Amino acid sequence: MKTTENQFKELLKEQDAYREALSLVQWDLRTKIPEHGATQRAEVIGLLSQKIHQLATSDQMKTLIDQLKGKTSDPILQRSVEDCEEEYNRSSKIPDEEYKAFITLRSKSESVWQKARAENDFSLLQPYLEELIAYNKKFAKYWGYETNKYDALLHLYEPGMTTKVLDEVFAQVRSGLTNLVKQIRESNVQPDENLLKHHFPKEDQKAFSLDILEKMGYDFDSGRLDESIHPFAIGINRNDVRVTTRYDEQDFRMAIFGTIHEGGHALYEQNIGKSLIQTPLASGTSMGIHESQSLFWENFIGRSESFWEKHFDLFKSYAPAAFQALDFSSFFEAINEVKPSYIRIEADELTYCLHIMIRYELEKALIDGDLAVKDLPEAWNQKMEDYLGIRPTSNQEGVLQDIHWSAGDFGYFPSYALGYMYAAQFHKRMAEDINIEQVIASGDFSSIKDWLTLHIHQHGKMKKPLEIIKEVTNESLNAQYLLDYLTEKYSKIYQL
Amino acid sequence: MKTTENQFKELLKEQDAYREALSLVQWDLRTKIPEHGATQRAEVIGLLSQKIHQLATSDQMKTLIDQLKGKTSDPILQRSVEDCEEEYNRSSKIPDEEYKAFITLRSKSESVWQKARAENDFSLLQPYLEELIAYNKKFAKYWGYETNKYDALLHLYEPGMTTKVLDEVFAQVRSGLTNLVKQIRESNVQPDENLLKHHFPKEDQKAFSLDILEKMGYDFDSGRLDESIHPFAIGINRNDVRVTTRYDEQDFRMAIFGTIHEGGHALYEQNIGKSLIQTPLASGTSMGIHESQSLFWENFIGRSESFWEKHFDLFKSYAPAAFQALDFSSFFEAINEVKPSYIRIEADELTYCLHIMIRYELEKALIDGDLAVKDLPEAWNQKMEDYLGIRPTSNQEGVLQDIHWSAGDFGYFPSYALGYMYAAQFHKRMAEDINIEQVIASGDFSSIKDWLTLHIHQHGKMKKPLEIIKEVTNESLNAQYLLDYLTEKYSKIYQL
């Protein structure tokens, strides 16, 4: 048994080394690579992805899984075997040729999307989306599902989650949110975000971002902050977890909230248990749980009154003269302004989930066959009007804004809203152990970080997402906490 | 034959993709990686190196070489087959286990060297050097040689070069140089390098470095400039050739000459013929020819009077107030000051080759068995006294200063001096086609860059180093050009 275990560990290590190389290549592609270097780099990505896939579906892998499953006394190995088995089943069910064709289509489609968006021409992307959806339907069939085809895709990003649960919680959240948005529209308080739109030099924004990241407990000996068009966090290895942000000199919010958000992701990856290193378990357990960490830091901490009361002077010390006369309450209201808008990644804390639900409903309909791709732009615009009361005047600010579908990713979007609900549920539970506002007001976040590490981060993929929710909060997903939190916060700001 | 050719091309592509990934990992390791990320990254380096080695020594490779050698009509394929055959023979002659042990020893030894140098304790490194030399001797035997064991190692870095040739040209250069150094010591002109040692902010040095790189014709769409402890250039792929430099705020020379030097290496890699991409031929043909390009730019251009006459105002526009009163001739003399010193990488243009000869003679003696490792520090100090007239007072500024030997690299050092001689020989030949001083004085270097591309860069490894020398200059290596160039330049500066 020891020999078999060691063989398995060696295989995991090899797979992990390929994954690490691939992550570095991807980080570089989005941060440092010179323009002309990218074409040939695609070959590297192809090769490394292929190697990872080959190892995951190799006969050796299958044999080791069969020999070890349920027979090792090492819990980390046992869970790794299960994870590899899921991956083996998922990957080996797709015929090799079909998988390759899908990968090629994806990467073509991504560049077509760039062009389609730039030229505001959905028809360019339409045939690619049709093909990508056809593949996703086929894959869902290969993988199997109980009642809804879409569940098979959802499972990729949020194991255990179903459309049945989502339909229910999303309906609850939608009704609560639309009600809140309506009240806010009628409120006498109307924050003025223009107060925040003064020139703020990039270098000073960077210094402020670094300062805040450090306060969050982000370990700079195991990470670094860079710049990219779309902010992201990436665990290259457990001791090299990098974040990026984007500097808009006319709107500092982009950089600072981007940094806090990605910093939240990074804290998760930096604090995974060391015993999981070089196994497939050394990363966040699902997209939804990951997003709960970034949103917890970005919103529950980073957009809270206590946080800015504590750091308003610090902010001013980095900010140019134009900000110095700003009073605290105008500032705080402005960074929490609620205003329906077209672009998801620029949405405020409150309307954000509505953007997600629109995508969820549309992609479910696309996979179920209830919606044809050619009708997608109109369906998108109609839902925007129904949920947010505004109608995009172009596909650029409508259906073409996100990369996900053109990258073949269906079932991913719900994670963003799930993350939000999880975060609220964790927040509620954390408040039983910690006086959260007091901790935030102190500027020393270590007890919050430690709580998250203890209950979530350290486990990596040792626990499945729904297991974590259940064990930490003693109940299953409950959307009410998010509604309560938002109602309390925004009732106060908007004097509802 | 077409099928076999395509199989071979696919194999080359795969090998090249691994090499590209490895280069990126190495670039990152020296520029961006956070401190704690490096330990696990070693596994990635190990895996990628192993894959490259496996492909190079695979049965498939051997079969394809045998099928294609002398039988393809495509000259690039033919030369690639030859290159792969050399690599196959070199690699497959070393037993796998021995090679692995050597690689492990190397990486251990490199970290021991760090410690030995920091603590000024040669005895820490001694056992490692003894083992590394034993391996090198064994390898030389496996690879074979005609008269001198050391030739087998030299061949790794400078194919076709022999100790017989080196002994001859080095003797000639040494006698010329020591004579010049002696005259300079007795000259009435004594430049004052302290004139250059004013605080020069890093950001301004960087802006100046970027400006000069651009003037050299370095393509920023296919490369970038970063910072590292030891400046280097690296071709990640042919359209992604990066350079680094180091900023010393008390001595701007480090950054600017480092940038020009590495920029010279980078121009070589950026201008290799596009038809060689994804073959083993898409890189510089030897260490010596590579060094000829960096030294050509650093010294023949970057330390020339015409260059600084043209760019002195530009320099002052970036330099702080303390530099503004500096007159041109004091400045020019100061950047060309000749003064025997302990550290190779800080040596001036004239004494630099003497540092190399010392290393050459010592490593040859170590490989031949004429010198024991335990006697190395004393032998080093004695040669410093003989050739440069100064004796190191510690091993830190003596035998422990360079990483090469502790990394198992013997036979590499001569490339630096060869590069110098090649550069002078190219310079002489270029002067027949181009009025070099006039071009430099114009500040538009494109005709120089084009000449180097036409005669050297574009060929990559299609031509061997000695072939290039012969074809371009119509004679074999001739050290007299270097002596003539140095004598002329320094006679003028020091009024000899």
Reported residue count of chain B is: 496
Distance CA B294, CA B246 (A): 16
DSSP sequence for B39-75: HHHHHHHHHHHHHHHHHHT-HHHHHHHHHHTTT-S-H
Report the sign of the C-alpha dihedral through residues A269, A273, A276, A277, in that order: positive
B97 vs chain A: nearest CA distance in angstroms?
18
- Taking an 8 Å cut-off on Cβ atoms, the answer to whether B34 and A238 are in contact is no
Residue A241, strand partner residues: A235
Q: Nearest chain A Cα to B238, which residue?
A: A37
Question: Quick one: closest CA in B to A50, which residue?
Answer: B14
- Nearest residue in chain A measured CA to CA from B241: A37
Partner residue facing B21 (CB), from A21, A32, A242: A21
All domains of chain A, ordered by start, with CATH?
A: 2-93 (no CATH), 122-496 (1.10.1370.30)
Contacts by residues A59-62 (CB-CB < 8 Å, ≥ 24 positions apart): A60/A7, A60/A11, A61/A11, A61/A88, A62/A88, A62/A92
DSSP-based three-state secondary structure for B362: helix
Using a CB-CB cut-off of 8 Å, the residues of chain B touching A278 are 40, 43
- The β-bridge relationship of strands B225-227 and A233-237 is unpaired
Check: CB of residue B302 under 8 Å from CB of residue B257.
yes
Catalytic entry in A82, A87, A158, A262: A262
For A246-369, strand residue ranges (E) read none
Q: Please tell me the distance in Å from A44's CA to the nearest CA on chain B.
A: 5
Measured CA to CA, the distance from residue B449 to residue B237 in angstroms comes to 20
Contact B448, B301 (CB under 8 A): yes
B chain contacts of residue A46, beta-carbon cutoff 8 Å = 17
The helix/strand/coil state of A226 is: strand
Q: Which H or E run includes B32?
A: none
In degrees and rounded to multiples of 5, residue B145 shows phi and psi of -160, 165
For the question of residue A309 being annotated catalytic, the response is no
- Mutation target to probe the A interface, by most A beta carbons within 10 A, among B237, B238, B274, B278 is B237
DSSP bridge partners of B448: none
d(CA A242, CA A266): 7
- Predicted confidence at residue A358, as pLDDT, reads 98
Bridge partners, residue B244, by sequence: B226
- Closest alpha carbon to B11 in B108, B77, B91: B77
- Please check whether residue A2 touches B, CB under 8 A: no
Distance CA(B230)–CA(B243), nearest Å, equals: 11
Interface of B with A in 182-221 (CB under 8 A): 219-221
Chain B residues with CB-CB distance to A25 below 8 A: 21, 24
Is B265 annotated to bind ligand?
yes
Rg of chain A (C-alpha set): 23
B43, B222, B226: best to mutate for the A interface, most A CBs within 10 A: B43
Q: Can you give the pLDDT at residue B300?
A: 98
With beta carbons less than 8 A apart as the criterion, state whether B263 and B208 touch: no
Separation between Cα atoms, residue B161 and residue B154, nearest integer Å: 7
3-class SS of residue A225:
strand
Q: pLDDT in tens for each of the 496 residues of chain B? A: 789 999 999 999 999 999 999 999 999 999 999 999 998 998 999 999 999 999 999 999 999 999 999 999 999 999 999 999 999 999 999 998 898 899 889 988 988 999 999 999 999 999 999 999 999 999 999 999 999 999 999 999 999 999 999 999 999 999 999 999 999 999 999 999 999 999 999 999 999 999 999 999 999 999 999 999 889 999 999 999 999 999 999 999 999 999 999 999 999 999 999 999 999 999 999 999 999 999 999 999 999 999 999 999 999 999 999 999 999 999 999 999 999 999 998 899 999 999 999 999 999 999 999 999 999 999 999 999 999 999 999 999 999 999 999 999 999 999 999 999 999 999 999 999 999 999 999 999 999 999 999 999 999 999 999 999 999 999 999 999 999 999 999 999 999 9
Distance separating alpha carbons of residues A129 and A288, to the nearest angstrom: 25
Taking the CA of residue A146 and the nearest CA in chain B, the distance in Å comes to: 41
User: If you search the block for the tokens 């999303």, which residue do you land on?
Assistant: A170
Nearest to A47 among B17, B33, B222 (CB): B17
Q: Do A32 and B32 touch (CB under 8 A)?
A: yes
Q: Are B438 and B392 in contact (CB under 8 A)?
A: no
CB spacing of B18 vs A47 below 8 angstroms? yes
Angle at A397 between CA A393 and CA A401, to 5 degrees: 150
Structure-block tokens of residue B89: 């023979």
- pLDDT tens, B20-52? 999 999 999 999 999 999 989 989 999 999 999
Give the tens place of pLDDT for each residue, A401-450: 999 999 999 999 999 999 999 999 999 999 999 999 999 999 999 999 99
User: Could you give the CA distance from residue A35 to residue B222 in angstroms, rounded to a whole number?
Assistant: 6
**How far is residue A488's CA from residue B142's CA, in Å, rounded to a whole number?**
78
pLDDT for the residue B111: 87
Q: How far apart are CA B239 and CA A487, in angstroms?
A: 54
Name every residue whose Cβ is closer than 8 Å to that of residue A162 and which is 6 or more positions away in sequence. A146, A147, A148, A151, A154
Q: Which two tokens stand for residue A38?
A: 């990218």
CB interface of B with A, residues 220-279, below 8 Å: 220-224, 236-240, 242, 277-278
pLDDT value for B328:
97
Asked if residues B496 and B182 have their Cβ atoms less than 8 Å apart, the reply is no
Q: Flag if B221 and A21 touch (Cβ within 8 Å).
A: no
Straight-line distance from the first to the last Cα atom of chain A, in angstroms, rounded to the nearest whole number: 65
> From the annotation, which residues of A make up the binding site for Zn(2+)?
261, 265, 291
Q: Output the six-digit token pair for B471.
A: 């074809």
In sequence order, the 6+-apart residues with CB closer than 8 A to the CB of A192 are A330, A333, A334, A337
**Helix, strand or coil for residue B446?**
helix
List, in order, residues 6 or more apart from B190 with CB less than 8 Å away: none
Residue B92, pLDDT score: 93
In B233-276, DSSP assigns E strands to 233-237, 240-245
Q: Which residues contact B52 (CB under 8 A, 6 or more apart)?
A: B15, B18, B19, B22
Using the beta-carbon criterion (under 8 Å), do A25 and B24 form an inter-chain contact? yes
Cα distance between residue A355 and residue A386, in whole Å: 11
Six token digits for residue A139: 């894959």
Tell me the binding residues of A: 261, 265, 291
- What distance in Å separates the CA atoms of residue B188 and residue B195, rounded to the nearest whole number? 18
Closest CA to B239 of A37, A45, A31: A37
Distance from CA of A43 to the nearest CA of B (A): 6
Q: Which of B262, B298, B337, B363 is catalytic?
A: B262
A vs B, Cβ pairs < 8 A, gives 108
pLDDT computed for residue A262 by the predictor: 98
Q: How far apart are CA B438 and CA B98, in angstroms?
A: 55
Question: Which residue of B11, B20, B31, B218 to mutate against A (max A Cβ within 10 Å)?
Answer: B20
N-terminal to C-terminal alpha carbon distance within chain B: 65
In this structure, which amino acid lies at residue B308?
Answer: W
Q: List all residues 6 or more positions away from B152 whose beta carbon is below 8 Å from its beta carbon.
A: B139, B140, B141, B143, B144, B145
Question: How does pLDDT run across A120-146, given as a tens digit for each residue?
Answer: 999 999 999 999 999 999 999 999 999
Find chain A residues with C-beta within 8 A of B224's C-beta.
Answer: 32, 34
Residues of chain A with pLDDT under 70: none
Cβ neighbours for A200, distance < 8 A, ≥ 6 positions apart:
A249, A250, A252, A319, A320, A323
